Amino acid sequence: MPHPVVSQEEWLIARKALLAKEKEEGRVRDDVNAARAALPWVRIEKDYAFDTKAGRKSLSDLFEGRDQLLVYHFMLGPDWTEGCPRCSFLCDHIGDTLPHLNNHGVTWTAVSRASLALIETYKERMGWDFPWASSFGSDFNYDFHVSFTPEERASGAIDYNYARRPMNRDELSGLSSFIRNEVGEVFHTYSTYARGLEPLATTLFLLDRTALGRRETSSLSFVRRRDEYPKAAE
């Protein structure tokens, strides 16, 4: 679609009009963040168990001594051969944030139902060093509505992103936040799914500031695993 070409003065008028909308967007974002922080908490009653490079761990152990935990529900099922391209794209943005998150009392980990061996193989391929645990044999993924039983899938609809949807998927993605109090109790504070995960990826917001934007036919349709882009794109 061709864009009008105008004088600097005309462009400045249009840019200032957009700036007013951007400032309003910032105010709305602040309001949403405040509402998110004010959500009530749910105490975790189950004893979830995870396989990690350091051995078997509980959900509380995944905090690594900090008081908050972010879990990325990474789509990598037990019978998959490689991780989800979109999850891979989002997690490419995580590594350099870890020192900042950790300094703020927040631990990040990915969690998948795949075996730890498969996780470690894919993690090495992608060149990542963030924590990543296997929840295989646990209800964790099912309870947080990112893995789905054969019975759920056969019913013709699954519960995902706070609605029942006509989908037949074994794994989907999400992000969940937890907090641990002084006596060691763990609480679920927040989860988001689908396009709610986009803020993890600064690439998307840089593209949004270019003239041609994301150039996608659907959400994240342009994404490939980092080692699958044509060499000319480097």
- We report the CATH number of the domain holding residue 152 as 3.40.30.10
Q: Specify the number of domains making up the chain.
A: 2
122 shares a domain with 81: yes
99 shares a domain with 32: no
134 shares a domain with 26: no
CA distances for 188 relative to 15, 68, 120, 168, 219, angstroms = 42, 10, 27, 27, 28
207 is a domain residue = no
Do residues 211 and 72 lie in contact, with contact meaning Cβ atoms separated by under 8 Å?
no
221 is a domain residue = no
* CA angle 11–202–64, rounded 5-degree value: 155
96 is a domain residue = yes
90 shares a domain with 70: yes
pLDDT in tens, the chain (234 residues): 678 999 999 999 999 999 999 999 999 999 999 999 999 999 999 999 999 999 999 999 999 999 999 999 999 999 999 999 999 999 999 999 999 999 999 999 999 999 999 999 999 999 999 999 999 999 999 999 999 999 999 998 999 999 999 988 999 999 999 999 999 999 999 999 999 999 999 999 999 899 888 888 877 788 889 899 887 545
11 is a domain residue = yes
150 shares a domain with 110: yes
62 shares a domain with 154: yes
pLDDT at residue number 231: 77
CA dist., res. 69 & res. 62, Å (int): 8
Residue with tokens 């990040």: 108
49 is a domain residue = yes
131 shares a domain with 194: yes
189 is a domain residue = yes
Domain that holds residue 11: 1-38
73 shares a domain with 2: no
Residue with tokens 């950790």: 102
50 shares a domain with 30: no
CA dihedral 226, 87, 25, 42 (to 10 degrees): -150
The two structure tokens encoding residue 48: 């979830």
81 shares a domain with 112: yes
214 is a domain residue = no
212 is a domain residue = no
Nearest to 113, CA basis, from 132, 92, 96: 132
116 shares a domain with 32: no
H or E element, residue 61: none
100 shares a domain with 20: no
The two structure tokens encoding residue 198: 């986009």
pTM exceeding 0.85: yes
Strands (E) in 46-173, as ranges, are: 49-52, 55-58, 68-73, 106-112, 132-134, 158-160, 163-165
